[in-house]
Amino acid sequence: MIEHRRRAQRHDRRRSARALPGNGAPASWPRRRPAHAYAHALAATLLVAGLSACAADYPQTTFHPVTDFGARLNDVLAGAFWWMMGILILVEVLLIYVIVRYRDRPGRGEPRQVYGHTGLEVIWTLVPAAIVVAIAVPTVRTIFAIEAPPGDDAVVVDVIAHQWWWEFRYPQYDVVTANELYLPVGRPVHLRLRSADVVHSFWVPRLGGKRDTNPIPASAVQRGDGLNQLIFTISEPGVYLGQCAEYCGLSHALMRMRAVAVHEDAFDAWVQLMKAPPAPPEGSLAARGQEIFMRSTCIACHTINGTNARGLIGPNLTNLGDRWTIGAGVLENTPENLAAWIRNPQAVKPGALMPGTDAGPGGLPPTNLSEDEVGAVVAYLQSMRTPRQQ
């Protein structure tokens, strides 16, 4: 009977509650979210995380290296990762077991104290020490392996970082290029890294780890002292994206590069084309552009092989028409973009040292090229295009 009355009272309360605004509860009552709201939030989070993991394209992944160097680094990482996962699981399981098994209950006294227990002290000193050794030995072996001097057949490339572009010199071939690093597949590569100004860092993730490029006095460079190096052999042809990985000033984020790995015969063909770039056909717009380029201030900073342009301050522009991008990966290499770059480089890359047509940075004189002349110079630079991109 009492139970019946109680139920009726509860029913009345619920009915009057429904009549109140705000889902029945007076504003002063603490609100509780229903459990299914949390479940929905969790499901949504997992869905977003899962879907974002499905994106197919990770051009700068470190997990799929194409060099022996990158593979070795990944092995060290994987070894340390699995040790850490094992320790994490062991510790968490023990922790949860102890929390449940030895929780305080009424009437329980103080647990047995093990402070200063020799056996335990020995175990938790020796076991971690053994794990550190198990991680350190393969790590040190890897350091020696990746620092081993390359054989005589290695392709040597001097990588010189500038604010904000990359210079690549091939002393064995007497070839210099910028921002797109051609390398042969299946042959050791020896990069000797330095900087022309501040500290930068060379990083093409699929080729392996990053490495700082430091400013070094010219005398040290002559002796081969103080150069950082990277040594690796690429196993797969492809175009691998990279970027500067050390903050180096205003346009640090606009200091990108590509490594172009090709088979050895294609590499040799590229070297030959770099040594003797195609000359523009006589009477063409490109030929006029070449003439304008050679009599303007462009040649104070830029080299084009086989011509009188021998400036060394800016990027070597030989076969520029071949490159995918200009401005160290900032713009796609199209006639429109190249013209925009020549007109006003600072609009594209803040802090760039190249003068525009109407103004130069830091007191440098402008190039004073007319719109017509810009068009001709663009035609000239774009005409230096070898069969690869056609």
Give yes or no for residue 210 binding ligand CUA (CB under 6 A): no
Nearer to ligand CUA, 200 or 302 (CB): 200
Distance CA 27, CA 15 (A): 17
Among 178, 255, 286, 340, binds ligand CUA (CB under 6 A): 255
Nearer to ligand CUA, 69 or 164 (CB): 164
Give yes or no for residue 330 binding ligand CUA (CB under 6 A): no
Give yes or no for residue 247 binding ligand CUA (CB under 6 A): yes
Distance CA 321, CA 384 (A): 5
- DSSP summary character for residue 115: T
Question: Residue 191: phi, psi to the nearest 5?
Answer: -90, 130
CB of 194 to ligand CUA, least distance (A): 13
Cis omega before residue 203 (within 30°)?
no
Give yes or no for residue 157 binding ligand CUA (CB under 6 A): no
Distance CA 27, CA 38 (A): 22
Nearer to ligand CUA, 157 or 248 (CB): 248
Task: Work out the number of other CB atoms within 10 angstroms of the CB of residue 295.
Answer: 10
Among 185, 244, 326, 330, binds ligand CUA (CB under 6 A): 244
Give yes or no for residue 353 binding ligand CUA (CB under 6 A): no
CB of 97 to ligand CUA, least distance (A): 49
* Contact range with ligand CUA by CB under 6 A, out of 89-97, 123-131, 239-247, 261-269: 239-247
Task: Work out the number of other CB atoms within 10 angstroms of the CB of residue 226.
Answer: 12
Distance CA 78, CA 142 (A): 13
CB of 195 to ligand CUA, least distance (A): 8
Nearer to ligand CUA, 63 or 247 (CB): 247
Give yes or no for residue 175 binding ligand CUA (CB under 6 A): no
Helical H runs in 172-284?
A: 218-223, 264-275
Nearer to ligand CUA, 175 or 255 (CB): 255
Question: What single letter denotes the amino acid at residue 34?
Answer: P
Give yes or no for residue 252 binding ligand CUA (CB under 6 A): yes
Among 246, 273, 293, 374, binds ligand CUA (CB under 6 A): 246
CB of 258 to ligand CUA, least distance (A): 15
Contact 174, 167 (CB under 8 A): no
Give yes or no for residue 254 binding ligand CUA (CB under 6 A): no
Distance CA 331, CA 336 (A): 10
Give yes or no for residue 256 binding ligand CUA (CB under 6 A): no
Bridge partners of residue 175, in order along the sequence: 170
Vertex 260 angle, CA 259 and 264, to 5°: 130
Give yes or no for residue 161 binding ligand CUA (CB under 6 A): yes
Q: Extract the runs of DSSP E, i.e. beta strands, from the chain.
A: 155-162, 165-170, 175-178, 180-184, 188-195, 200-203, 211-213, 228-233, 238-244, 256-262, 325-326, 331-332
* Contact range with ligand CUA by CB under 6 A, out of 7-15, 229-237, 245-253, 330-338: 245-253
Sheet holding 180-184, edge to edge: 180-184, 256-262, 238-244, 200-203, 211-213
Nearer to ligand CUA, 37 or 250 (CB): 250
Task: Work out the number of other CB atoms within 10 angstroms of the CB of residue 213.
Answer: 28
Give yes or no for residue 215 binding ligand CUA (CB under 6 A): no
Give yes or no for residue 160 binding ligand CUA (CB under 6 A): no
Which residues contact ligand CUA (rule: CB under 6 A)?
161, 164, 200, 244, 246-248, 252, 255
